[in-house]
Structure 1
Amino acid sequence: MNDINFWKVELDREIKEMIEETDLLCAQKKRLENALDATEVPLNIAQDNLDCRSRRQEVDLVGDRVELALNKEVEIIRKVQDLLKRTIENADRQIKLNRGAKHKLTMDWSDKVQAFEIDEKCTGLNNNSTEIQYKEGSAKFNNVQSTPESWAEFSHDNIVRAEHERLASQQLRNLIDQIVTDTSNDMREQCNTVNSEFARRIEEMNDAKTKMENHLQKVCIMSIWSTTLNTHLYFCCTLNQCMTQHLVASKSNFVSEFEYHAHISQVNFRLVIFPISFVTDRPRNCFHGGQCPSPAEVHQGQEAPMKVAQTRLDSRTNRPNVELCRDPAHFRMVQEVGEIQNSIDHLNQKLADSQASLKDLMDTRMTLEKEIALKKNSIFIDRDKCLKFRTRYPSTSRLVGYQ
């Protein structure tokens, strides 16, 4: 009975320890499940960030460091999920082994309690007991009976097996602690890396946008000056026409060669020194609604003086006989035609160069405005869409399964 009581106590102690260990392992398994559930939010955040950034446009739709960091974050989270799932499966298997070992201990303990009660009852029997009677066939050995050695070995083996499973369970619990700590640290570290890459990328795009806006401002100023120059050229053409008409009218009286030459010099001088402020101080829409004159308009401004000069030359060829003389008036009118043509050619060339420059400036302006719009869209996606959504990232305590 002392041996039975000894093993019964040992079995009872081991059963209690096994129950306690199994409960602790179940709690760790619950932590794993909580940690696995907590990974869904970071995964959704990373995938949503990638989806939002896929809506960037043209040159900004590039595989930058932010996208690489987001892809790595998705990869890390998926690996963490796989590891947590495998660990949960290991915990399930160990819980079953713990319960199996505990079941054997419980059965052994129950048998010993029953055996102890029987032996205790037998110890209390004597010749005066009312329960005694003949039991034929009881005085023989049964083949299924155990020996004292095998009896003790059976309980010993059950306890050793339970201790082995309990030790394995403890090691698994420690491993679970390490796993949830490492996985949460890996996820938080990658989250911080992604946030840093977002901040760096947003700063780079803001700098690029600021530079392009400054460049655009300069281009706009240059465009205004180019338009003003074209307007000035057109005004010069108009002024030249008016002065030439006045000159032609004066020449109709066949002024002297000296007066004619002086008048031509005065016209050219006034065209050269004509102040551009006279044009820039006027409203922009004073010439063609503020738009640049075309070479055809410049040419049209010189048509009347040219027609007058050529008509006069043609009319004077009809003078009879000796009157058809190459007099100074004839030479001056021929010179006038050449001067008008040179003026037209010169102004046309200047105007064409100015218009080409203005076209380049307008093309540059459109390109800059488009690129600035692209940068604003990319900044909006990264700063207002992605980073704001990342503020919902779970805390460390939730990632380790405590919430």
Structure 2
Amino acid sequence: MHCTLAFTPNDWMASNQGNYLASDRVRGGAERLRMESVRLCSEYDDKTKRAQAEVGKRLGERIGDINFWKTELNHEIDLMITETNALNEAKRILEKNLAETENPLHISQECLYNREKRQSIDLVHDNPEKELIREIDLIKRCQERMRNTIDRANVQLGLNRAAQHELERDAGDKFIAENLDTTSHLLRNTSRGIAYHDGVHRINNTISVPETWAKYSNDNIQRSQAERLASKNMRNEIESVINTCNNEMWMQWNAANTALNNRVQETTDARNKIQAHLNKTLQEVYEMEKNIELLKKSIHDKEAPMQVAQTRLDTRLRRPNVELCRDSVHNRLVQEVGELTDTVDHLQHKLREAENALQALLRTKGALEQDLSIKNNTLFIDREKCLAMRKTFPIAPRLVAVA
């Protein structure tokens, strides 16, 4: 059987040559791709390592920034806690001082109440009265200033706590952020817990940039510093109020005591003079009573001579006839009776004058005794009651140390 051939030797040679060329071309392309792949793998490995190293470096820097502000915040928190404690102590001292003002106020009011028990002419609106009223008004004004200062200190304490709260919240956030960034910084390709989180790079929930982030903490610190300065000024004011009020109350206390002592001296002098006048009056009463007794005796002693003279005249009336003569005896007897009558009348007049004088002396004695009693009562009130309560100033000096 005879077969028909489709290709010539040249066709065969050309086919082989084409296969050789195609093989060389494909192999060359594959070799170039393989070399490019090796280069790219090496290049991208280096790029990935550099990127990871850069992120690690920036995480370290970020951790340093967070630690810096966290340290600054914690330092400011410590300063604020110290300042708040100092202000609380100053306020406590002021509150104690305010409570202690009730004692001198009570003493002053008690003195006024006691002095209302003075009697009659001694119930006067004198200098001690005026000074005690001034003292009460001053203490009440000081109490009002102290209460107002305490209220403002409470407001400042609230501001201190609010500033401290912001600092603590900021520092707390920094602590959490530092821990999270430290955890991120420590992650390695071989770390456990790494995994794919598809789409996480497309999430953007940030609310600040580095500038506003740093400004937020700086603002918190500056606010706290401003409140600390205001708090220190508040403590200075508390010290000033305590010292000023104590000095004013102490000076007024001394002024009232001086007025009371002067009044006691005046009353004592008046009492002593009254006592001297009373003694003289009592002596004069004694002398006048003796004088009245003398006058009464003198009048009584005139009764017998009068009876003798009148009896003589009556007896001589019985002389007979011409013997009933107006002789010198008769004339002298009539003169004697007249003289005795005049004498008795004059002595009776002197007796009435003496008795009137005695009544006047007794009234004066009564008035002096009453006034003496009034003065003794006033002295007892001012010296034994008022000054006895005011021997020492009832508020201990107390200063507030301002750091």
Q: Do they superpose with TM above 0.5?
A: yes
Superposition map of 1:283-298 within 5 A? none
Q: Which residue is 1:386 aligned to?
A: 386
Superposition map of 1:89-168 within 5 A? 89-140=151-202, 142-168=204-230
Task: Answer whether contact 2:310 2:337 (CA < 8 A) is retained.
Answer: no
Task: Answer whether contact 2:166 2:220 (CA < 8 A) is retained.
Answer: yes
Measured in 2, the distance between the counterparts of 1:401 and 1:36 equals 14
Of stretches 49-58 and 218-227 in structure 1, the one that deviates more from structure 2 is: 218-227
Per the alignment, in what secondary structure is the counterpart of residue 139 of structure 1? helix
Measured in 2, the distance between the counterparts of 1:360 and 1:41 equals 50
Superposition map of 1:215-230 within 5 A? 215-230=277-292
Measured in 2, the distance between the counterparts of 1:19 and 1:253 equals 128
Q: Which residue is 2:232 aligned to?
A: 170
Measured in 2, the distance between the counterparts of 1:341 and 1:240 equals 9
Task: Answer whether contact 1:11 1:109 (CA < 8 A) is retained.
Answer: yes
Measured in 1, the distance between the counterparts of 2:209 and 2:399 equals 52
Of stretches 58-67 and 234-243 in structure 1, the one that deviates more from structure 2 is: 234-243
Measured in 1, the distance between the counterparts of 2:145 and 2:333 equals 100
Structure 1's 180 and 15: CA in aligned 2 closer, same or farther, altered over 3 A? same
Q: Which residue is 1:265 aligned to?
A: none
Equivalenced residue count is 339
Q: Which residue is 1:292 aligned to?
A: none
TM-score (norm 1): 0.79
Per the alignment, in what secondary structure is the counterpart of residue 396 of structure 1? coil
Structure 1's 143 and 401: CA in aligned 2 closer, same or farther, altered over 3 A? closer
Task: Answer whether contact 1:39 1:81 (CA < 8 A) is retained.
Answer: yes
Question: Shift of the alpha carbon at 1:140?
Answer: 2.5
Q: Which residue is 2:350 aligned to?
A: 350
| 1:9 matches 2:74 | no
Structure 2 counterpart of 1:384, one-letter code: E
Q: Which residue is 1:361 aligned to?
A: 361
Task: Answer whether contact 1:22 1:95 (CA < 8 A) is retained.
Answer: yes
Superposition map of 1:306-345 within 5 A? 331-345=331-345
Measured in 1, the distance between the counterparts of 2:340 and 2:91 equals 99
Instruction: Render the CA deviation track for 1:193-245: whole Å, top value 9, x for unaligned.
Output: 11111111111111111111111111112122222222111111122212233
Measured in 2, the distance between the counterparts of 1:58 and 1:400 equals 46
Instruction: Render the CA deviation track for 1:165-197: whole Å, top value 9, x for unaligned.
Output: 011001111111111111111111111111111
Consecutive unaligned residues of structure 2, counting only runs of 5 or more, are 1-62
| 1:58 matches 2:120 | yes
Structure 2 counterpart of 1:203, one-letter code: Q
Measured in 1, the distance between the counterparts of 2:271 and 2:92 equals 50
Measured in 2, the distance between the counterparts of 1:400 and 1:202 equals 35
Larger CA Rg, structure 1 vs 2: 2
Task: Answer whether contact 1:233 1:347 (CA < 8 A) is retained.
Answer: yes
Measured in 1, the distance between the counterparts of 2:249 and 2:207 equals 61
Instruction: Render the CA deviation track for 1:270-329: whole Å, top value 9, x for unaligned.
Output: xxxxxxxxxxxxxxxxxxxxxxxxxxxxxxxxxxxxxxxxxx6xx88xx88x88765556
Of stretches 31-40 and 191-200 in structure 1, the one that deviates more from structure 2 is: 191-200
Task: Answer whether contact 1:33 1:401 (CA < 8 A) is retained.
Answer: no
Consecutive unaligned residues of structure 1, counting only runs of 5 or more, are 255-311
Question: Shift of the alpha carbon at 1:337?
Answer: 4.1
Measured in 2, the distance between the counterparts of 1:401 and 1:223 equals 68
RMSD: 2.3
Q: Which residue is 1:305 aligned to?
A: none
Task: Answer whether contact 2:101 2:395 (CA < 8 A) is retained.
Answer: no
Q: Which residue is 1:309 aligned to?
A: none
Measured in 1, the distance between the counterparts of 2:68 and 2:391 equals 61
Per the alignment, in what secondary structure is the counterpart of residue 201 of structure 2? coil
Per the alignment, in what secondary structure is the counterpart of residue 128 of structure 1? coil
Aligned structure 1 segments of 4 or more residues deviating by more than 6 angstroms: 322-325
Measured in 2, the distance between the counterparts of 1:102 and 1:71 equals 46
Q: Which residue is 2:57 aligned to?
A: none
Superposition map of 1:260-279 within 5 A? none
TM-score (norm 2): 0.79
Task: Answer whether contact 2:285 2:362 (CA < 8 A) is retained.
Answer: yes
